Amino acid sequence: MPECFERRKGGEHSGMGSNGQRVLVLAARQPEFTGLLEAAGYEVDARTRPLDDADVEADVAVVFRGRLIGRKQAATLAERGIPVVEVLTVEPPGASREDWVRLSNRIPKSDLVQVVHAVVAWARTRVGAAAPAA
């Protein structure tokens, strides 16, 4: 895949802050939303193409379904144990789960950032609860 389609990750020469939480954003075009996540302190890995079978390191994934990003992307990430926020172009066809939240794309981007905060907090407590006591 040509590098020109993917954003570079934050590093020492980047203005992107980090709160230690990584968010994968799978979307054809969502620069405003990725900017809001970065402003909220997340490390954002924005991808404009469907994932292949490569390993992904993310605490939460936000998948904007459309013509390019298909329905299998959210399911694949959820199967890998990555909590998913799936944004659909239609009303969600099924119920959300604690690890897979389905929303309509009519949600304001600022509200979507709040949903990401909640899912990250849930994922953090889930990981903390799974750690063995010392």
Q: Which domain covers residue 43, as residue numbers?
A: 17-128
d(CA 12, CA 130): 32
In order of 14, 29, 52, 65, 95, the CA distances from 21 in angstroms are 16, 22, 22, 23, 26
d(CA 26, CA 65): 8
Q: Is the residue at 73 inside a domain?
A: yes
Number of domains in the chain: 1
pLDDT, residue 129, reads 55
Q: Is the residue at 9 inside a domain?
A: no
Q: Is the residue at 105 inside a domain?
A: yes
pLDDT, residue 19, reads 61
Q: Is the residue at 1 inside a domain?
A: no
Q: At 63, which CATH number?
A: 3.40.50.280
**Mean pLDDT, contiguous 10-residue spans, the chain (134 residues):** 47 47 93 96 93 84 88 90 94 89 95 96 76 48
Q: Is the residue at 4 inside a domain?
A: no
